[in-house]
Structures are given as structure tokens and as C-alpha cells.
Structure 1
Amino acid sequence: MFSSFFRRVDPFAVLAVTVPLAIYLLTLAPSVTFFDSGEFITAIHSLGTAHSPGYPFFVNYAKPFTWLPFGNIAFRVNIATAVSAAAACYGAYLLVLVMLPGGDADGAAMPRYVARGCALAAALAFAFSARLWLQSNHDKPYPLVSFIVAVVFWALLRFRTRYDEGEECPHYVYLGAFLCGLATGAHQTIILMLPSFAWLIISKDWRLLGRVKEFLIAVAFGLLGFAIQLHMPVRALKNPLLNWGDPRTLDQFLWNLLRKGYPSDPPVRDLTLLWQQLCAFNVPSEFTWVGIGLLVLGLVVSCRRRRDEVIAYFLGIGTSLVVIVGHFNAQADLIFLTEEFFTPLYLLSAVFIGVGLFWLLRRAVDSIQVEKLTSVPIKVLVLVFTLMLPGTICALNYYENDQHDNYVAFDYATNTFRSLPHNTALFTWGDSGAFPLWYLQGVERMREDLDLLHTPHLVFRWYLDAFPHLFGQSMLRAVPEDAQSAESALKMAVAEQIGRRPVFIDFSTRYSLPFAEYGMQQRGIAYRLIQGGKDTVYPPDLSVWGLYSSRGYTSQMGFRDLDTGKAILIYAMARLEGGEILLRTGYRSPGVEELRLAAAIAPELRGQVEQMLGAYGVR
């Protein structure tokens, strides 16, 4: 029985999953990272609601991985993302086989291993692309969306094939509709693929538009999948650890689902910005120029038998660019966030790359006899050739995507905690400065004596409700949400807390808002506000630096995203600021040492350090 089972197993399909998964696990982040990581993990751990639009399907998908018996919770959630990314790679493998003429190969004359080798090459090229790899080794919902896109695309291709054979199978369409509804709980960008999916259905037979009954059933299945959104109000009634927007009421649910908490008035775009936004979809960067050549070849040769699939691919690109570029209109410093939305399109690009590679190989071996194609040397030669592109992409991206020693966010959060005395109220500003703290306190149960207050949320009533012991009788409640700014809310909250307990702000808050009415003492990368001390210069407390873990900013790892680089620079800038204060107050020797350490952490500050030393007469 077992031998019969193993004979039916496709080893290429197994490799399409296991090879990416193995590489992802080797390069997996060991703990929390920056951006949305700490917030996602906290929501997953507590089955709560993340930032708009809530991500209920991603939360429920990753939750079972938190029960793994090894690693911390963040590491387990990162494994969940790696698994979903490996599954998406299998989706690319499966689609290549479906797209090739005759299913597995072009007639009986071509050995099956050639088609499967090309499908494996496409899957691995997608696996090692910079975008998917970056999303696979820490918690991200986009690989899960990509996997669903692949399954829906496959289901609709099956629907078209069966329709050509004279057999109507609407259950494939119903499956696709259900998965699209479900995928809105992973990320709403699944909506951008709906025109492509609709085209695959109606282009087969325009008379299908008159099938009202089947259309209503498909809508019902879509709504059934969309019902995953009910997770948010149901769980909000249980007051989970992370309950973004508190969506227990219809108004708050729609506020979260429709992303009403984000700015709605985008600034004006110029041609330079438009070009930068369009370049967020960058196929050469993901697959190299050789991959571009194979993609173009695959699209051209597919136009004869798979014209509607090619049109569906371009519809997906066009819709995504119109909505992401035209509607979102991200500014230059935020364009990198929109790059993640194109991951499903990179999956489809990899599929056509596999088709182009197959056509190229077929032309190359036309003159070789079929018997020779089945010999071991020829098999090895063909497979080596097919794997050259993914091998090259892997080599190009491995160093920069290797996060196995990325403790920067973890150490940044723990070092912040080590800066704070007991019962402190810490006000944060940026997401990356706040979310790792949320994870460590809420999930890992560190420093539960602290109140971590995120300044941008102080304007929301739902956020104030989460801290009844602080804001139950706060004056912040008397100010309407639409009339309150984050800056004024912060000043009001600080004024209410500073007479009762230690009040600290993080580095981002320190340089986002002036605090002229308070004295300020630096403690590492945190700052204590001192009531009534505005005219006093307080030397920095250097003792906390000895408590810090330095691996977060002295590691030689290749991975550097935007906020990882910022965190390392914050350590250096804090040393720089402390050194300047020490020199100004007459503490020459420790001041020089602080400046030297600043230059050691961030060599780009060396010129500024030398200029500062020169201003104080130090060579």
C-alpha cells in the first residue's frame, strides 16, 4: 500500500514545497521584528483584532501555530508565514502544469520531467524573489493571499477545461467565490484580482452572464467566506489583549473594516512621484532581466492557446496599478509599503516564466531523440538548466533576506524596558517603536508594571477605553475625536500623569514634538520628563547603557529594512546627543567616549562627530 502511494507522489511537487520551506526556516526571524510584527503577533496570540482592516482570517490561520511546543510565540507565528509562502510556491508549480499544453507536457513526445522541472523552476524563482522571501521569514499576511489567488486561478482554469469538455462544473466557481470572500480577512487587496477572475469565467462563454441562479449562488458563497469578518465583533465582546478599534458595534466595525482611521486626503502627485509609485511593481528586481525575457516569451507563446489567461494577468496588473497608484497615492517615503501588495502578481509572473522556460527547452531538445531524453545524463543536464534562474535569484537575495539572527526589534524593546523605572508611563510615537513593546509586555509578559501609551491613538475613544485606570475621568474624553490632534492629546495626557508617576517618552516622540515646558533627562534611548525643570540641563544617565543587549546594533547580519536601520541609528543618535550634553556641561572624558561610541555604531555619523569634537576643542 505504501509503495503504491509513494509511486503516485510527484517528487517535483514535493520539492516545490519543501525546498522553499527549508530555506525560509533557515532564514526565519527568531523573534518579533519591526513594522506591524509585534501588533500582528499580539492579535494572533489573543485572537484579537489588528489594525484596519482587522485581518481576521490571518489571525485565525496563524493561531494554531502558537501551540507549537518550541520557540517563542513570535517564532511560531513566523513559521506560520513560512508555511503559507511555501504553499503559495506549490500554487505556482501547479499553475504551470495546468498552463502547459496537454497538462503535463506537449504531447507524448516530451517526457513529463521536462514540464515538471520547468514548473519547479517557476515555483523556486517565485520562492526566492526578494518580495516573497522578505514576507516569508516573519509574520505577514501577503503569502497567504498569494496562495489563495493561486488556488482560485487553478479552480477557474479547471472550470474552463471542464466546460470545453462539455461538462459544466459551477462548483469550481463557487469555491473561488468562497475563497475570495475568505481572503478579505487576510488582506483586502484580493479585491484587485476580481476583474481577472471574472474575465476567466465570462470569456469562456459570454452567455454565462445570463445565469442568474449560479451568479446568486456564487455571491452567497462569497458572503459565506466574507463572514470571517464576524470574528472581529464577536471577539471584541471578550475584550482580547489587542482589540483595535473595539469593533463590537456596527459603527466601530465599519470604521475598522473600511479603514476610516487612515488619512483620507492624499497630497498632490507630480510626475516624479507617479513614476516612483509605478516602479513599485518591479518584475526585473524580483526575477532578473533573464526572468523578464522568459516572462515575455511565456506571454507570447501563451497567446495562442491561453489568450484569456494572458488577458487576466494584464487585467490584474492594470487594476492593481490603478487602485494602488491612482487611489492610495503613497508618498515617496511610504511607497515601499505598497510593494507588498503586488505579491500575487509576482506569482502569476513566475507561472508565465515557467511557460516560457518550457517552450525554450522544447525548442532546444527538438532534435534529440525521445529515447535519449530519458537517459540520466540528459535528465541531469535539463534539470540543471531549468534551475539556473532560481539558483541565481536565491544567490542574489540570500544575504539580504537572512533574518535568522535578527534580534534588533526584540533588543530595542527590551532595552527600552531596561531604561524605565517601576510604574512608568511611556509614550511612544511610531509603530515600530511601539509594537515590539506591545508584544513583549502582552505576550511574553515582560514589565507588566508599565503603561505603554501610543500617542497617535490618544485621539480615539476606543483607545482611551482600553486604559480605564488612566483615562476613566480624563479631560481627553471631553474633546471630540475630530477636533483633537495627537500632539495636543499627548500634552494633555502627560500633564495628567506627570504628577503621579515617572513619565517617559521614546526617541521618536522626543524628536516629533517640543517639550519646552518640561525638563528632560536622557536614559539610553528613552527620556524622562521632569516637571518644573525646563531651565535645567540634566546630564544623561549613562548607567542604563550597561544594561543593554548590544547584539541589536552590533550584529553583522545582512538584513536591513527601513526601520531596522532607523533603530540602529537611534542608538547612535542617543549616544551622540548624550555626548554633546556631557561636553556642554563640562564632562569632557565621558562626553568624548559617548561620541566615539556613536561613530562606532553608525559610521555615517563620523563627520558629525568630528565636527562636534572640534567645536569643543577636542582632536
Structure 2
Amino acid sequence: MLALLRKHYAIATAAIVFIIYLFTLAPSVIQIDSGELAAVQATLGIAHPTGYPLFTMLGYLFLKIPLPFAKIYQANLLAAVWCALAIILFIKIFELLIKALASKSVSNKTKQRMKIIETGFTADQKIIAAIAGGFYLAFSKTFWMQSTSVEVYSLQVFLFTLIIFTTLRAHYSTENKITDWIYVGPALAFGFANHMTTLLTLPFAAILFFQKEKFTKQAFKKIGLTAVVSLPVLFLIYLYLPIRAASQPILNWGNPVNFENFWRHFTGKQYQVWLFASFEAAGKQLKYFLSNFPSEFAYAGLLLGIAGLVFLFKREKKLFTALLITLLFAVLYSINYDIVDIDSYFLLACIIFSFFIAFGVLQLMLYLKTKSLKENYSLAIVGLLCFVPLAINRSDADQSGTYTFEDYTKAIIGSTEPNSLIFSYQWDYFVSASYYFQNVEGFRKDVAVIDKELLRRSWYYNQLKKNNPAVMKKIEAESSAFVEAVKPFERDENFDPSLLEQNYRAVMTNLIGKNIEDRNCYIGLELFQNEMQRGEFTLPQGYQLVPHLLAFKVVKGTEYIPVPDPKFTIRLPKQKNKYIQFIETTVGTMLTYRAAYELQFGYKERAKVYIDKAKKDFPGYQIPYEILRGME
């Protein structure tokens, strides 16, 4: 049995990791893109830039497996699978590195012979070091989070390790064939077909390639052959976007049916405004990385990683250089992306640092050996260290009790009348989640959820016309005028900003004005507090907003508008992140607005219903003093 475990310890380690992941797996959608990506996989749609065709197709196939779970849970499960598979490859990579160190030959110029560098480690010590590195990676905060819910980064960490593995195999191959590096190409192609952070691995591949092959004619032939193999793979996978877009799927971000739309989507032009934005933004992200990085590995991992850096520097400077440059490049490039959810862009840096942690564990065992500590005791100490990140980071990564986004989304949509319109740009909390619940689970498909910010993009009108033809037909003139006005902007041509803004506001106002007779319209809290207060969005003449339950209802006249009791339930997890806190604050604020509205008409008992709901369900929300005083 022990012999079998020693032989297959990489799989055994990944199995343990996967089982632990199951206990922290999200049962439903969570924040940001979770709902959209699950819906894209389930409906074979097109996701936000860069489209993620490999992620979409693999997810679609996995969701076709008849498992007894909701589609969202099954999509989340696939994320855990990818992360566990990445741990197998991580351990296999470390085995390659240890083998290379153990058998590294150096030329003895005096005797013109080769000698073997003895590492001085037992087989069990090497296994423990590999497992320790795998555990520290698997249970680092950001990596662990990727395993809890559907995201492109869970597949990406697997592809990162695949690229590193194929690169090292080619680098350490003793054969000198033109096909040595041929498997690196498809690995890179798969990576780029999933996420553009694959470019962060290029320094690693380039350094190891030219360290071995030098700048020879044969080397460039190998590069050419690798390109010939990989580029068609990348091209064929990305063909999914225009082919699928031509059939007008329910979710068709970017509508990449022609080369112009495809290129805009493939290059992520929409997000380039945040890339290399300013030195100030880069400094802010670097400060965030440096302050957060020690806690990624539960602090103990940082010390082990530093020890591993020293260990590798002394024993194999070329490998040390390749790994360190890759880590630094991954960090320095990523800090130039000025977005809030930047953590996932540091995943490659976490993977590389985990190799240093594994080498640090070897260094620790070497130190314990010098103290005449028995091997069993040193293995026990290291074994205990393996569980440090598991114990410390679980509360941050655990999504097993997160139903908040499902409850919030269903409460908003469910509180509206049939065929209503909801205007919002709460993408991270509600809009993305609505994509899944409406288009996959079929929850209240009669309600049209319209993202106010996406209305600034020409492709979005195509998707709205497909999914809500009756709504969009009434503003055909306004939408056509805006689409024509925005095209020069999207093409980086000269455009009239005042005309563009005028047409955009006309779309917003007329979406309500020309549909209000047939369907009820609702405005999100964020629109009321921001755009409407600044005068950027106005209601049609004669209409006003009344606080409903979780949004503002557009009504005509000034008479009292009753609403049902707030019978919805929004479950909050024990560990609240900033996204959960936003929902808690938003719902509490809407209940308070409704209570204030009731007080305007003298209905104190009705006001009490909403305040009591806020107090009971959202104890963290601070009810304004003037509301409490008005109820006395």
C-alpha cells in the first residue's frame, strides 16, 4: 500500500485537495462574472472579452454529463476539478526539477570528466517537499478561490502548469530532435484560447529555450515548427466565436460575426483603457500585491519561499533565474491593469513562488538533519506546516454557504410584476447572476434586465433585440441613432461626444417612456443615487420614482403606491466580503427608503414592517436616526 502511495502520491495529493475543495465549493452563483460564465457554458454563448472559447466549449461538454446537480453547482465543480488537476501537474513539475538537480552534470575542466551533484535527500523527503508545495499552492487564498466557483482562471491555472511542464520536459530532454519543443506550442495555444494572461509564461519558455538551444539556425527551425503546430490550434479554437455568433445565441457579447467585431473582442479593446493606465495606478496595485502576498501563503509559506530562493540560487542559478524573472514579470505586468479584482492576475506568481516553497521545505529538512533530528520527526514537522494555509485561509476561501447572490437576484426580479423592465448596472451583484437564473434555470424570463452601462456598446443592442424584441422595437429609431453615433468611437475614429451622449440619454429615457404603458419599469438604487442625482438620466415628463422593495418603481402622478410586505429572504454567510456587504447595505437602504416613503403618507405601521425587516435580516446595516425618530 505504501509503495502504491509513493508511486501515485501526486494523484493522491490532488484527490485530498479535491475532497477539501468540495467542502468549500459554492452551491450557487457568487460575485462578479460567475452567473454570466455559467450561463455562457450552459447555453454555448459568448462571454465578455476575450470570449474564452476553450473555457466555454469544455464547460459546455462537462455540463452535458448527467450529474444530479444544478447546472451552476456542476459548473462550480468543474472549477475544482481544474484546480486539482493543476496540483498534479505542479507535483510532476517539481519531480522534474528535483531529478534535474540530482543528475545535473558539470564539466570538470581539469580532468575533463563529469561528476554528479549529490542532493543528499531521501525519496520520502522529496515527496514531502512536493506535497508541501502542492498544499501551499492549493490552499493559497487566490488559488483556492478559483476552485470554489465557475471562472476562467480555474482552467487557466491548469494551463499555466501545463505550459511550465511541457517547457521543462523539452528543456531537460537529452534528445536533440527538431520536435523537442513541439508540445509547448499547443500548450501555449490552449492557454491563449482561454485567457491572455498566458503571455506571462512567455519569458519562462523563452529563457529555458534559449538556455538550451542557443541562438542557432536549428533553434529557429524548432520555433518555426512549434508555431506551425500551435497557430492552427489557436485559430481553430477561436473560430468558435464568429461561427457561434452567426447563430445569434442568447448571450452574444461583442457579436463577433465579422472581423471588426471579432478583433475588438479578441483583443479586449473594451478593457484596454485600464491597461497601463498610469504610474499611480501601477503603484497602487503593487502596494496591494506586496501587502496581500504574505497572507496568500498564510505567512509561513513566505518564509519557506525565501528559504527556497536561497536554496535554488546556490544549486541551480539558471533555473533560479528563469523562475524569478517569470515571477517578477508576472507581477510587474499585472500591476499595470487598473481593476478592482486584480488578485487572479497574480496566480502565475503564486504558482512560481510555490515552487520556491517546495525547495524551501527541502532546505528546512536539510537544516533539521544538521540538528540530528530523526527523519520521522522532521517529516512530521513539515507535515504539520502543510496544513497551516488550510487552517488559516479556509474562512476567506469558503463559499459553501453563499446563497446571497442567488437570493438577491431572485428577490429583485421576483418582486416585480410580469413583463417588467429593470434598469441596473450592478453587474457584480445582480446583472451577471440574472444571466444564469433567467437563461439557464428559466426563472422569470418575462422580466427584461437591462444593463445601463452595456447600453453604451453597439453589440448590446443586437442581444437585446434578440432576447426582448417587443421592448426594443419601440425604440428602434433611438437605438439605431445611437449605434451609428457610437461606431466611430468604437473604431477609434473622430466622433461627436455630445451627440453620442445625447443619443445615449435618448435611448435610456425612451426605453421607459415608450414601454411604460405596457410594462412596469424599475430603476436600480445605484442609478437613483448617481446618474439621476447628477442629471445624466431623467424620467419622461410626468413620471417619478417610488421606492418599491429592492428597486425604485417608475410611476405617474403623486398618489400613494402600495407594495407587498418584504417576504423575501436573503441568506448571508458568516464570512462577509465586500460584495456581500454591498448587498446588505443596498437592501437595507432600499427598505429604509420605503419606510421613509410610508412615513410621508403617515403610515407608521407600514414603515415599521420595513424597518423591522432591516433590523432582523441585516443587523449590520445602520438605520438612519431620522427614520427611527419619525416612527416614534
Q: TM-score, normalised by structure 1?
A: 0.88
| 1:459 CA drift (Å) | 3.0
| 1:42 CA drift (Å) | 1.0
Aligned counterpart for 2:523 among listed residues 505, 520, 524? 505
Alignment correspondent of 1:294: 304
Q: Does the Cα contact within 8 Å between 1:99 and 1:355 map onto a contact in 2?
A: no
Alignment correspondent of 1:38: 35
Task: Sort the Cα spacing of 1:392 and 1:7 in 2 relative to 1 into closer, same or farther, 3 A.
Answer: closer
- How many Å separate the matches in 1 of 2:505 and 2:356? 50
Are 2:20 and 1:23 aligned?
Answer: yes
Task: Sort the Cα spacing of 1:399 and 1:235 in 2 relative to 1 into closer, same or farther, 3 A.
Answer: same
Q: Does the Cα contact within 8 Å between 1:278 and 1:321 map onto a contact in 2?
A: no
Alignment correspondent of 2:333: 323
- How many Å separate the matches in 2 of 1:519 and 1:51? 34
Alignment correspondent of 2:381: 385
Amino acid of the structure 2 residue aligned with 1:235:
R
Amino acid of the structure 1 residue aligned with 2:528:
R
Query: What is the correspondence of 1:1-20 to structure 2 with a 5 Å cutoff?
Result: 7=4, 10-20=7-17
Are 2:78 and 1:80 aligned?
Answer: yes
- How many Å separate the matches in 2 of 1:272 and 1:453? 31
Q: Does the Cα contact within 8 Å between 2:26 and 2:402 map onto a contact in 1?
A: yes
Alignment correspondent of 1:476: 479
Aligned counterpart for 1:181 among listed residues 189, 197, 204? 189
Amino acid of the structure 1 residue aligned with 2:220:
V
Task: Sort the Cα spacing of 1:542 and 1:37 in 2 relative to 1 into closer, same or farther, 3 A.
Answer: same
Aligned counterpart for 1:307 among listed residues 298, 317, 332? 317
- How many Å separate the matches in 2 of 1:496 and 1:9? 70
| 1:385 CA drift (Å) | 1.7
Q: Does the Cα contact within 8 Å between 2:53 and 2:194 map onto a contact in 1?
A: yes
Alignment correspondent of 1:261: 270
Deviations 1:180-232 (A, max 9, x none): 12111221011122112111111224234663321211122231332211111
Task: Sort the Cα spacing of 1:206 and 1:213 in 2 relative to 1 into closer, same or farther, 3 A.
Answer: closer
Task: Sort the Cα spacing of 1:111 and 1:247 in 2 relative to 1 into closer, same or farther, 3 A.
Answer: same
Amino acid of the structure 1 residue aligned with 2:343:
E
Q: Does the Cα contact within 8 Å between 2:285 and 2:335 map onto a contact in 1?
A: no
- How many Å separate the matches in 1 of 2:44 and 2:24? 27
Amino acid of the structure 2 residue aligned with 1:492:
N
| 1:269 CA drift (Å) | 4.7
| 1:325 CA drift (Å) | 2.3
- How many Å separate the matches in 2 of 1:426 and 1:273? 36
Question: 3-state SS of the aligned residue for 1:61?
Answer: helix
- How many Å separate the matches in 2 of 1:265 and 1:76? 33
| 1:103 CA drift (Å) | 6.3
Amino acid of the structure 1 residue aligned with 2:412:
T
Alignment correspondent of 1:612: 627
- How many Å separate the matches in 2 of 1:145 and 1:170? 28
Alignment correspondent of 2:88: 90
Question: 3-state SS of the aligned residue for 1:427?
Answer: strand
Task: Sort the Cα spacing of 1:214 and 1:419 in 2 relative to 1 into closer, same or farther, 3 A.
Answer: same
Deviations 1:241-263 (A, max 9, x none): 21111111111101111112236
Amino acid of the structure 2 residue aligned with 1:76:
Q
Are 2:390 and 1:394 aligned?
Answer: yes
Query: What is the correspondence of 1:479-498 to structure 2 with a 5 Å cutoff?
Result: 479=482, 480-481=485-486, 482=489, 483-485=499-501, 487-498=505-516
CA RMSD in angstroms comes to: 2.7
Q: Does the Cα contact within 8 Å between 1:476 and 1:493 map onto a contact in 2?
A: no
Deviations 1:539-566 (A, max 9, x none): 55143x12x2x2x34x3432x3332221
Are 2:548 and 1:523 aligned?
Answer: yes
| 1:84 CA drift (Å) | 0.5
| Unaligned residue ranges in structure 1 (runs of 5+) | none
Deviations 1:26-76 (A, max 9, x none): 111111222101110111112221001101111122222212321111101
Question: 3-state SS of the aligned residue for 1:589?
Answer: helix
Question: 3-state SS of the aligned residue for 1:387?
Answer: helix
Query: What is the correspondence of 1:426-505 to structure 2 with a 5 Å cutoff?
Result: 426-432=422-428, 433-468=430-465, 469=469, 470-472=471-473, 473-479=476-482, 480-481=485-486, 482=489, 483-485=499-501, 487-505=505-523
Q: Does the Cα contact within 8 Å between 2:592 and 2:627 map onto a contact in 1?
A: no
- How many Å separate the matches in 2 of 1:308 and 1:395? 35
Question: 3-state SS of the aligned residue for 1:569?
Answer: helix
Deviations 1:547-587 (A, max 9, x none): x2x2x34x3432x3332221122221111111122222211
Task: Sort the Cα spacing of 1:353 and 1:299 in 2 relative to 1 into closer, same or farther, 3 A.
Answer: same
| 284-293 or 570-579: bigger deviation | 284-293
- How many Å separate the matches in 1 of 2:193 and 2:245? 16
- How many Å separate the matches in 2 of 1:122 and 1:396? 16
| 1:466 CA drift (Å) | 2.4
Task: Sort the Cα spacing of 1:34 and 1:158 in 2 relative to 1 into closer, same or farther, 3 A.
Answer: same
Q: Sequence identity, in percent?
A: 21
Deviations 1:113-164 (A, max 9, x none): 11111100110111111101111100111132222222221222222222xx
Q: Does the Cα contact within 8 Å between 1:104 and 1:116 map onto a contact in 2?
A: no
| 1:172 CA drift (Å) | 4.6
Task: Sort the Cα spacing of 1:7 and 1:396 in 2 relative to 1 into closer, same or farther, 3 A.
Answer: closer
Task: Sort the Cα spacing of 1:153 and 1:267 in 2 relative to 1 into closer, same or farther, 3 A.
Answer: closer
Alignment correspondent of 2:124: 113
Query: What is the correspondence of 1:317-396 to structure 2 with a 5 Å cutoff?
Result: 317-326=327-336, 328=337, 330=338, 334-335=339-340, 337-365=341-369, 373=375, 378=376, 381-396=377-392
| 273-282 or 583-592: bigger deviation | 273-282
Alignment correspondent of 1:142: 153
- How many Å separate the matches in 2 of 1:310 and 1:259? 33
Q: Does the Cα contact within 8 Å between 1:579 and 1:590 map onto a contact in 2?
A: yes
Task: Sort the Cα spacing of 1:27 and 1:170 in 2 relative to 1 into closer, same or farther, 3 A.
Answer: farther
Task: Sort the Cα spacing of 1:15 and 1:450 in 2 relative to 1 into closer, same or farther, 3 A.
Answer: same
Q: Does the Cα contact within 8 Å between 2:330 and 2:348 map onto a contact in 1?
A: no
Question: 3-state SS of the aligned residue for 2:432?
Answer: helix
Task: Sort the Cα spacing of 1:438 and 1:556 in 2 relative to 1 into closer, same or farther, 3 A.
Answer: closer
Q: TM-score, normalised by structure 2?
A: 0.86
- How many Å separate the matches in 2 of 1:144 and 1:67? 18
| 1:273 CA drift (Å) | 6.8
Q: Does the Cα contact within 8 Å between 1:100 and 1:355 map onto a contact in 2?
A: no
Q: Does the Cα contact within 8 Å between 1:178 and 1:224 map onto a contact in 2?
A: no
Alignment correspondent of 1:576: 592
- How many Å separate the matches in 2 of 1:439 and 1:209? 52
Q: Does the Cα contact within 8 Å between 2:50 and 2:265 map onto a contact in 1?
A: yes
| 1:510 CA drift (Å) | 3.1
- How many residues are matched? 587
Question: 3-state SS of the aligned residue for 1:444?
Answer: coil
- How many Å separate the matches in 1 of 2:301 and 2:176? 37
Q: Does the Cα contact within 8 Å between 2:35 and 2:432 map onto a contact in 1?
A: yes
- How many Å separate the matches in 2 of 1:493 and 1:23? 48
Q: Does the Cα contact within 8 Å between 2:548 and 2:594 map onto a contact in 1?
A: no
Task: Sort the Cα spacing of 1:266 and 1:611 in 2 relative to 1 into closer, same or farther, 3 A.
Answer: farther
Alignment correspondent of 2:415: 419
- How many Å separate the matches in 1 of 2:562 and 2:119? 77
Task: Sort the Cα spacing of 1:506 and 1:366 in 2 relative to 1 into closer, same or farther, 3 A.
Answer: same
Question: 3-state SS of the aligned residue for 1:100?
Answer: helix
Task: Sort the Cα spacing of 1:73 and 1:272 in 2 relative to 1 into closer, same or farther, 3 A.
Answer: closer
Alignment correspondent of 1:132: 143
Task: Sort the Cα spacing of 1:305 and 1:109 in 2 relative to 1 into closer, same or farther, 3 A.
Answer: closer
| 582-591 or 260-269: bigger deviation | 260-269
Q: Does the Cα contact within 8 Å between 2:181 and 2:222 map onto a contact in 1?
A: no
| 1:416 CA drift (Å) | 1.5
Task: Sort the Cα spacing of 1:557 and 1:537 in 2 relative to 1 into closer, same or farther, 3 A.
Answer: farther
- How many Å separate the matches in 2 of 1:537 and 1:308? 77
Task: Sort the Cα spacing of 1:443 and 1:556 in 2 relative to 1 into closer, same or farther, 3 A.
Answer: closer
